[in-house]
Structure 1
Amino acid sequence: MRTHPVPLGFVFRSRAKEEKAQAAAQAPVTDSKQTRDPQAPKGRPTPKRSEARTQRRSVANTPMTRKEAAKRNRDERRAAMERQRQALASGDERYLPVRDKGPVRKYARDFVDSRFAIAEWFLPMAVVILVLSMVQVPALQNVALLLWLFVIVLIVVDSVVTGIRLKKQLATRFPNENKRGAVAYALMRTLQMRRLRLPKPQVKRGERP
């Protein structure tokens, strides 16, 4: 009677390998091309794109608490003030305060900054006059009083002349623009020393605006 040889591989095959093969055969087959959404929890199916978009939109539209809203408003105000501060230094029209915006106000500033104004030295002269008036010497007190009157008259005359000239220039250059308050705006600027003016002067003295 002819005997059939037994394969040696069957005899020496490891029991552990056989069990692993059976477990792999019984495991469910999944599509390797489908990537798991990083936002999806492990052990759960990957959400559809429309569902994920809806979830993100709901998170973005979640109402903030009162504390969060106040913090956001403070941050926005702080950013706006920083942009305004930079605009006052650079003259950027986009972020200037409302009172400084517009071509009329810009020309009024340039008109004042291009000239020497007596009023810009009002504060230093007022300090000197105040010191002289405090000295217990009648002669110096009389000088301080006369000097004070002289300074006031000079400032008034210079302001009137500057206002008339500026008004004529504005009427010529901006016939269709709103010029209300521009002259008073310029005269208030003359009371500030040039280096302390905001927005910063954009023209030099003697330069035509």
Structure 2
Amino acid sequence: MFGRTKTSGKTSTTAAATTDHEVREGAKGRPTPKRREAEQRNRRPLGSPARAAAVRPGASKEEKKAAREAERKVFAEERALQRQALVTGDERYLPVRDKGVAKRFTRDYVDARRNAGELFIPVAMVILLSSLIPVAVVVRASLVALYALVLWVIVDSFLLRRKLNRITVDRFGDKATGCATYGMMRALQIRRTRLPKPQVKRGEFPV
């Protein structure tokens, strides 16, 4: 009798636990996987399909070598397209930092104006060379000219950044984030060294 009661009690407890497991909200209904199995399942190869083949478990040395060669070829083609886009302005292959209509507008606006920053290096070189002349008046004049040039660049860059910020926010809204600083840094570069290459002439401001 006592044995039957214990068995009945165990059966009831097991049934209650099973019922509780079934009705419990969010239950997995399966055993928790081991840590090693979870890590293997969550591991995802990064990069191109060729890279995925290179790191595929069980791949032979020949397969891995061929996959790496294919990956290098793909990367070389992408770099070639990107270099060409930096010259032609092809939006499809530009680096992420240069993509978007807001960035394109900013580049065109900067390239269409005459910026004090692009004159800084050549003018500063002339001033520094002239300061080597062992004449006190020339040296003082060179220093004054250099300080005036630096001040001009700072003021021009500040005004450009403020104007770009106002124009791009009005036109592009949230897409204009970072455009003002992007344009100001571009204006500090010599025109022929800018990347992407200028696509407009002086005075051809974007509409």
TM-score by length of 2: 0.66
Shift of 1:137: 2.7
User: What is the alpha-carbon distance in structure 2 between the residues aligned to residue 154 and residue 86 of structure 1?
Assistant: 35
Cα deviation digits, residues 106-152 of structure 1 (max 9, x gap)? 11101101111111111101211221233333222212111110101
Cα deviation digits, residues 171-190 of structure 1 (max 9, x gap)? 21112x33222111101111
Shift of 1:71: 2.3
Match of 2:94 in 1: 96
User: What is the alpha-carbon distance in structure 2 between the residues aligned to residue 81 and residue 135 of structure 1?
Assistant: 47
Match of 1:147 in 2: 145
Cα deviation digits, residues 86-123 of structure 1 (max 9, x gap)? 10111101000010001111111011011111111111
User: What is the alpha-carbon distance in structure 2 between the residues aligned to residue 77 and residue 129 of structure 1?
Assistant: 45
- Structure 1's unaligned 5+ residue stretches are 1-60
TM-score by length of 1: 0.65
Match of 1:158 in 2: 156
Cα deviation digits, residues 175-207 of structure 1 (max 9, x gap)? 2x3322211110111111222211111222111
User: What is the alpha-carbon distance in structure 1 between the residues aligned to residue 129 and residue 67 of structure 2?
Assistant: 52
Match of 1:115 in 2: 113
Shift of 1:208: 2.4
Q: Tell me the percent identity.
A: 41
Work out which structure has the larger RCO, using CA pairs closer than 8 Å and 6 or more positions apart in sequence. Answer: 1
Question: In the alignment, does 2:192 pair up with 1:195?
Answer: yes
Q: Trace 1:10-159 onto structure 2 (pairs within 5 A).
A: 64-159=62-157
1:178 pairs with one of 175, 180, 199: 175
Is the radius of gyration larger for structure 1 or structure 2? 1
User: What is the alpha-carbon distance in structure 1 between the residues aligned to residue 184 and residue 87 of structure 2?
Assistant: 20
SS in 1 for 2:175: coil
How many matched pairs? 148
- CA shift in 2, pair 1:66/1:112, >3 Å: same
Match of 2:202 in 1: 205
User: What is the alpha-carbon distance in structure 1 between the residues aligned to residue 76 and residue 92 of structure 2?
Assistant: 17
User: What is the alpha-carbon distance in structure 1 between the residues aligned to residue 110 and residue 81 of structure 2?
Assistant: 25
User: What is the alpha-carbon distance in structure 1 between the residues aligned to residue 160 and residue 195 of structure 2?
Assistant: 19
Runs of 4+ in 1 over 4 A off after TM superposition: 61-64
User: What is the alpha-carbon distance in structure 2 between the residues aligned to residue 148 and residue 117 of structure 1?
Assistant: 17
